[in-house]
Structure 1
Amino acid sequence: MARLAHHVFFTLKDNSDEAVESLITDCQTYLKDHDGVVDFAVGRRDVELDRPVNAKYDVSLHVIFRDRATHDAYQTAEKHVTFIERQKENWQQVQVCDSLLEG
């Protein structure tokens, strides 16, 4: 069974340090400890890395799931829904990149 990588890139309406920290804290509180998560990371964009190929966003979330089934369960889990409700008003754009991992 292939692991599933779930990468989310948030661009915020208010990207003050406080708002960025609030999003990071809520990611850690509501998204980290779901069944099937084998790796989790969240952080702010390194603004010093500013090549033409670098995407512009404020916060990135990276969750590796054991398989597609645990990813799918996460999408409707109460803690995930609570996270969205708490943070969505400050989202200008959200980009999600899901990949089946090989190797």
Structure 2
Amino acid sequence: MSKLAHLVFFTLKDRSESAVQHLLSEANHYLTDHPGLIDFYVGVRDKELTRPVNADYDVSLHMVFADRPSHDAYQVAERHVQFIEANKESWANVNIYDSTVM
């Protein structure tokens, strides 16, 4: 079975360093250690890379799941839902990209 990469890019309403750090902390609290999660990274846009291909966002989330069923279970997992409920008011925009990866 193929792995599934789940990439999420958040633009915050409050783009301050403290707001960015808060979302990084929340992601590490709620989104790690889910069944089937084999890779997890959360980070920030490198503002020194000003190439036209770099989108404008504040926080990026990179997750790789062992398979599609693991990803699908994560989507409805209590901790994932809690993360969304606790933080969605701080988001100006969210872009999500899911890919089957080899």
The question of 1:58 aligning with 2:58 is answered yes
The question of 1:47 aligning with 2:57 is answered no
Please report the TM-score for the alignment, with normalisation by the length of structure 2.
0.98
Percent identical pairs in the alignment equals: 59
Aligned length: 102
| C-alpha distance after superposition, 1:57-98 (max 9, x if no partner) | 000000000000000000000000000011100100000000
What is residue 88 of structure 1 aligned with on the other side? 88
| C-alpha distance after superposition, 1:15-60 (max 9, x if no partner) | 1111101100010010011000000000111100011111110000
Structure 2 residues without counterparts, runs of 5 or longer: none
Query: What is the alpha-carbon distance in structure 2 between the residues aligned to residue 84 and residue 74 of structure 1?
Result: 12
Q: CA RMSD in A?
A: 0.5
Describe how 1:10-89 pairs up with structure 2 within 5 A.
10-89=10-89
Please report the TM-score for the alignment, with normalisation by the length of structure 1.
0.97
Query: What is the alpha-carbon distance in structure 1 between the residues aligned to residue 62 and residue 77 of structure 2?
Result: 17
Query: What is the alpha-carbon distance in structure 2 between the residues aligned to residue 89 and residue 28 of structure 1?
Result: 18
Which stretches of structure 1, 4 residues or longer, exceed 2 Å deviation after superposition?
none
Q: Secondary structure at the match of 1:85?
A: helix
